Structure 1
Amino acid sequence: MTEPIIELQHVSKRYGDTVVLKDINIELERGKFYTLLGPSGSGKTTILRAIAGFLDVSEGTIMFDGKKINDVPANMRKVNTVFQDYALFPHMNVFDNVAYGLQIQKLKKAEVQTRVEAALKMVRLAGYADREISELSGGQQQRVAIARAIVLEPAVLLLDEPLSALDAKLRKDMQYELRELQERLGITFLFVTHDQEEALALSDEIFVMNDGEVQQSGTPVDIYDEPINHFVADFIGESNIVAGHMLKDFLVEFNGQAFECADAGMRPNEPVEVVLRPEDLDITTIGNGKVSVKVDTQLFRGDYYEIVAYDSAQNEWLIHSTNPAKDGDTVGLTFDAEDIHVMRLNESEEDFDARLESYEDD
């Protein structure tokens, strides 16, 4: 592995008795798209502001290119930030907004012109240089904010929920544009969002945060398919989470029955939580089902029906099906062993990784 461009080592942040960040350890490689994902108050924006130099950390070290930058002023760090509200200057046109940072550096006029035109072309706003900010749509303003950031040629671009003010369709369009832009620039992006679908769609790697801690990190597929704990399983996508016991390697009990699964490395009869994603459940007849449930309600979501049902123990089951069910009917649910994900109670990410390695090596 190459040396990370940014590394947070045991970083904590306190405001009086309130702990906002707790022993954060993060590494960012060059040229990748990273996302800090979590609910409001989880600490993700605090991490972004600490990297940018807008606030000091209480403990720990922030490294950039192998050098400590805790005491380096914000304007001397090779990072730039795109804010949630874009922070554009309304009295300046597009060109002057993008050129502002270059003019502060007192670059020659010809170089400013060349770099601004290149940045506007990069974000598909060529020909918009003379437009007033008030004449632009929300998506166009967001592109101006990105152009203003990339024109300074940062090694890392920090994005603090820059899509949150856009409507749903434009937000999805801008997701494609952001990902394409990151790949064209080849620089590191660190993106903050509370939107799980956005994080899954954009990221090379996600850091899932809650209560000032990184709960789990990994690729979108890893995070979705192998959640480490109840919070991650519940926060990332939709999940059915039921209590169970790990009888032995590759055999778990829940809902009063034993099921083959793909998990191992736990103690015999250890209490666990079992995760089944709604899209992995298929409706069948009672006799052919592995679990029997009674349909309570359903909603049509366009390309699938979202069905809520309950088993005899009153566990709620969420099912995504291309076929409708009938309210009040009792049906069977079937699923494959690979669809079952077993989580230990209160397992740390380090213990989780070690357990995976131990039985993958067997």
Structure 2
Amino acid sequence: MAQPIVKLNHVSKSYGDSTVLKDINLELEAGKFYTLLGPSGSGKTTILQTISGFTSVDAGDVYFDGQRINELPPNRRKVNTVFQDYALFPNMNVFDNVAFGLTLQNVKKAEITRRVTSALKSVHLNGYGNREISELSGGQKQRVAIARAIIMEPKMLLLDEPLSALDAKLRRDMQYELRELQQRLGITFLFITHDQEEALAMSDEIFVMNDGVILQSGTPVDIYDEPINHFVANFIGESNILNGVMREDYVVEFVGKRFECEDAGMRPNEPVEVVMRPEDLTITTVENGKLVVTIDTQLFRGDYYEIAATDDDGNEWLIHSTNSVPDNSRVGVTFAPNDIHVMRFNESEEDFDARLETYETDD
């Protein structure tokens, strides 16, 4: 990795008796789309505020382009923020909202016009300069806020849950627009959300947070397929999580049976947790099933059925299937070794990565 555009080195922050950031270490490369993902109160917004300069840190250092910026005021940092409520001025039209920062800097009118026109074009709002803010839809208001941010030519754009006020369809449309905009502009985006679907859809890399700590970082595929602990597995997507025992490398036991898996590097007979995603479970006949379950209920989700079932030991299972199955019927469930993910209790991300590298090298 080249010199990161942003680096947080052992950063901590408290408000009274509440510690909201706990020894955070974070590095971001230039030109990528990053997401801080976690529930409310996990520390996401505080990290944004430490980067933008609106919050000071109690301990540790914040670097931007290799320069320590702990004491640098917000107006001298080459970042800009798009807020959840967009913070647009209702008494100004679109043009004047976008031009606001340049006007404060006494930029010449011709240059302001050129840059506002370019910024509005980049967010697909050509010809909207004379519109009043009250005339815009939620998605258009968000694009005005982004145009106002990028017109200042920041090296990094911070986005504080900007999609949360939009309806479901518009949120999905804006995910495509934000991702395309970031790739076209080539600047670093740091997006915060509690919505795992948004994070998985848009990000180059995700940082999963809870209780002031970064629990795991990686690509969306890595985070989804290889969650490090119960919280990550449960927070990212839907999961079946069961207690098990790692009998030996590539053999795990759960629900009273032994199964081949693709995990290794643990102690023989070590207690573990087993994760299986609902879409990786396939319904079959009782005779062909690796497990047998009873169908409790099901919901139609449009392109699949979400099926709740219970095995003979009382374990609850969630299964996604393109086919409906009658309630109270007994069916088999099958899966492949790579559909099983084994998690150690209390394993750090560093230890997880080291173990993963070890057994992948052995292969």
TM-score range, shorter chain: over 0.9
Query: What is the letter of the counterpart of residue 26 of structure 2?
Result: I
Q: Deviations over 1:11-65 (max 9, x none)?
A: 1110111100111111000100000000111100110111111110111100000
1:276 corresponds in structure 2 to 276
What's the TM-score, normalizing by structure 2?
0.99
Equivalent residue, structure 2, for 1:322? 322
SS of the equivalent of 1:227 reads: coil
Cα distance, 1:326 vs. partner?
A: 1.2
* Cα displacement (A) at 1:346: 1.1
Which position in structure 1 is the counterpart of 2:172? 172
> CA separation in 2, counterparts of 1:129 and 1:299?
46
The answer for the alignment partner of 1:133 in structure 2 is 133
* 1:337 to partner: Cα distance: 0.3
Please give the residue correspondences for 1:234-249 in structure 2 after superposition, counting only pairs within 5 Å: 234-249=234-249
For the residue of structure 2 that corresponds to 1:41, the secondary structure is: coil
Letter of the aligned partner of 1:261 in structure 2? C
Q: Deviations over 1:89-138 (max 9, x none)?
A: 00000000000001111111111111111000000111000111001111
1: CA distance, partners of 2:122 / 2:296: 51
Q: Give 2:215's aligned residue.
A: 215
Q: State the distance in 2 between where 1:59 and 1:219 align.
A: 28
Partner of 2:347: 347
Higher mean C-alpha deviation, range 105-114 or range 26-35: 105-114
Q: Distance in 2 between matches of 1:214 and 1:132?
A: 41
Structure 1 counterpart SS, 2:144 = helix
* Matched letter for residue 240 of structure 2: N
Does 1:230 pair with 2:223?
Answer: no
Unaligned regions of 5+ residues in structure 1, if any? Answer: none
State the distance in 1 between where 2:357 and 2:302 align. 41
Partner of 1:24: 24
Alignment partner, residue 311 of structure 2? 311
Determine the C-alpha separation between the residues in 1 that align with 2:147 and 2:79. 14
Q: TM-score, normalised by structure 1?
A: 0.99
> Aligned with 2:8: secondary structure?
strand
Q: Distance in 2 between matches of 1:14 and 1:39?
A: 18
- The equivalent residue for 1:332 is 332
**1:1-362 counterparts in 2 under 5 A?**
1-362=1-362
Distance 1:18 1:299 in 2: 41
Secondary structure of 1:183's aligned partner = helix
Once residues 201 and 264 of structure 1 are traced to their aligned partners in structure 2, the CA distance between those partners, rounded to angstroms, is 30
SS of structure 1 residue aligned to 2:146 = helix
Q: CA–CA distance in 1 between the matches of 2:272 and 2:186? A: 42
Tell me the SS of whatever aligns to 1:292.
strand
Amino acid at match of 2:352: F
CA distance in 1, matches of 2:262, 2:294: 27
The separation in 2 between residues aligned to 1:319 and 1:350, in whole angstroms, is 32
| Aligned residue identity for 1:186 | G
Provide the rounded CA distance (Å) in 1 between the counterparts of 2:101 and 2:4.
27
Quick one: distance in 1 between partners of 2:358 and 2:303?
Answer: 40
Q: What CA deviation, in whole Å up to 9, does each residue of 1:273-308 have, x standing for no partner?
A: 000000000011111100111111111111111000
The C-alpha deviation readout for 1:246-270, integer Å capped at 9, x for no partner, is 0000000000000000000000000
CA distance in 2, matches of 1:172, 1:323: 26
- Which amino acid letter does the alignment assign opposite residue 20 of structure 1? V
CA distance in 2 between counterparts of 1:165 and 1:284 reads 42
Code of the residue aligned with 1:150 in structure 2: it is I
In 2, Cα distance between equivalents of 1:112 and 1:59 = 40
Q: Cα RMSD over matched residues?
A: 0.6
Letter in 2 for 1:32: K
Alpha-carbon distance in structure 2 between the residues aligned to 1:343 and 1:22: 24
SS at match of 1:361: helix
SS in 2 for 1:163: coil
Q: Give the deviation of 1:8 after TM superposition.
A: 0.5
Q: Secondary structure at the match of 1:126?
A: coil
For 2:305 and 2:171, how far apart are their aligned partners in 1? 25
Q: What residue identity is the alignment partner of 2:153?
A: E
Q: Stretches of 4+ moved more than 4 A in 1?
A: none
Query: Aligned to 2:350, what secondary structure does the other structure show?
Result: helix
The CA distance in 2 between the partners of 1:237 and 1:80, in whole Å, is 31
Amino acid at match of 2:72: V
SS of 1:198's equivalent in the other structure is helix
Identical-residue share of aligned pairs (%): 75
Query: What is the DSSP-based 3-state SS (H/G/I as helix, E as strand, rest coil) of the residue aligned with 2:358?
Result: helix
Measured after TM superposition, the shift of residue 358 of structure 1 is: 1.3
